[in-house]
Amino acid sequence: MMLRKIRNSLLLALLLCLPLVAVAANTELTWYGHAAFKITTPAGKVLLIDPWITNPANKNGKEDLARLDKADLILVTHGHFDHVGNSTEIAKKTGAKLVTTFDLGKAMATYGGYPKEQMGYDTQGNFGGELTLLDGEVKIAFIPAIHSSTIMAPEGSADKDIHDGGNPGGFLITVKNGPAIYHTGDTDVFSDMALIRQFHKVDVMLAAIGGHFTMGPQRAAEAVKLVDPGMVIPMHFGTFPILDGTPNALEKILTDHHSRTKVKTMAIGASIKL
Ligand SMILES: [Zn+2]
């Protein structure tokens, strides 16, 4: 009798624990090619960064875009077309709020048709600031970048002018019960990257390595040294022939430098657990 009681209470305890085990999910990272990523947090919130889903390197771009029916936040680093990408279309079908500087948000609404009501002081910041969003599920810090930022109306529009898109940047996204992920945006290496880890340890760095418009492998390796992440995932290479920096070149330099950082090269369309 006593034994059965003990067994039953053990079973009950086990059953009560099961939901806790199920909740302890990972953060998932998906790469769509170029600078476009999706982060799914342990609580199931979805963040898109620079969502040019239909970039020429993504063979399944149209299908991937059609499948994207849930997004909570869209983060855009700067105004160039290859980073604003499919933001407006995704925003209209998901209701995702825009995370940008105020200047870029205004430009995206005015020249890109991003719904004005899906941006505001809660999701817009500037360099040095950190926003706590989605009921504390993520913290997003605005990190500077050395680049430019202009915006043009979509192809086919009568407006052919180049408009100001505010200052370019990157983001440090700290996921609750998950990793801290630094998306560099388009940038050169700059020594202030070393300051990032004074405030946050960076687990994963999404680093532009293609060269021509951003740092190439050599300068990206210096950036990795300054940020000192556990893992670097190369991006912004191979989309066009002129973006000819390769993950192998980055890995070779980091190995030669005895870097502790692991290079993880993602396949386009693939997801990894972090
Ligand atoms: Zn750019």
Give the CATH number for residue 184.
Answer: 3.60.15.10
Q: What pLDDT score was predicted for residue 177?
A: 94
In a domain, 197, yes or no: yes
Residue bearing tokens 């999706």: 38
In a domain, 273, yes or no: no
220-224 contact pairs (CB < 8 A, 24+): 220/189, 220/245, 220/250, 221/250, 221/253, 221/254, 221/257, 221/259, 222/189, 223/184, 223/189, 223/193, 224/250, 224/254, 224/259, 224/261
In a domain, 178, yes or no: yes
In a domain, 241, yes or no: yes
Number of domains in the chain: 1
Distance 147 CA to ligand 1 centre (A): 7
Distance 78 CA to ligand 1 centre (A): 7
What is the Cα–Cα distance from 2 to 205, expressed in whole angstroms?
Answer: 56
Distance 139 CA to ligand 1 centre (A): 24
Blockwise average pLDDT, block size 10, the chain, 274 residues: 59 53 77 98 98 98 98 98 98 98 98 97 97 98 98 92 97 97 98 96 98 98 98 98 97 97 98 97
205-247: pLDDT as tens digits:
999 999 999 999 999 999 999 999 999 999 999 999 999 999 9
The candidate with the shortest Cα–Cα distance to 153, out of 118, 188, 110, 95, is 110
In a domain, 6, yes or no: no
Distance 81 CA to ligand 1 centre (A): 8
Q: What pLDDT score was predicted for residue 21?
A: 47
In a domain, 21, yes or no: no
Residue 27's alpha-carbon distances to 58, 122, 168, 197, 218, in angstroms, are 23, 23, 26, 21, 30
Distance 44 CA to ligand 1 centre (A): 30
Q: Which amino acid belongs to residue 35?
A: A
Q: What pLDDT score was predicted for residue 14?
A: 53
Question: Which residues hold their Cβ within 5 A of ligand 1, which is an ion?
Answer: 80, 186
Structural contact between residues 108 and 118, judged by C-beta atoms closer than 8 angstroms: no
Distance 146 CA to ligand 1 centre (A): 10
What is the Cα–Cα distance from 233 to 54, expressed in whole angstroms?
Answer: 20
Structural contact between residues 166 and 132, judged by C-beta atoms closer than 8 angstroms: no
Residue bearing tokens 């199931």: 44
The candidate with the shortest Cα–Cα distance to 81, out of 187, 147, 188, 165, is 165
The token duo for 169 is 């940047």
In a domain, 174, yes or no: yes
Q: What pLDDT score was predicted for residue 155?
A: 86
Distance 238 CA to ligand 1 centre (A): 15
Q: What pLDDT score was predicted for residue 25?
A: 82
Distance 100 CA to ligand 1 centre (A): 15
Q: What pLDDT score was predicted for residue 70?
A: 98
In a domain, 136, yes or no: yes
Distance 166 CA to ligand 1 centre (A): 12
Angle at 265 between CA 262 and CA 268, to 5 degrees: 155
Structural contact between residues 216 and 223, judged by C-beta atoms closer than 8 angstroms: no
Q: Domain of 81? A: 27-266
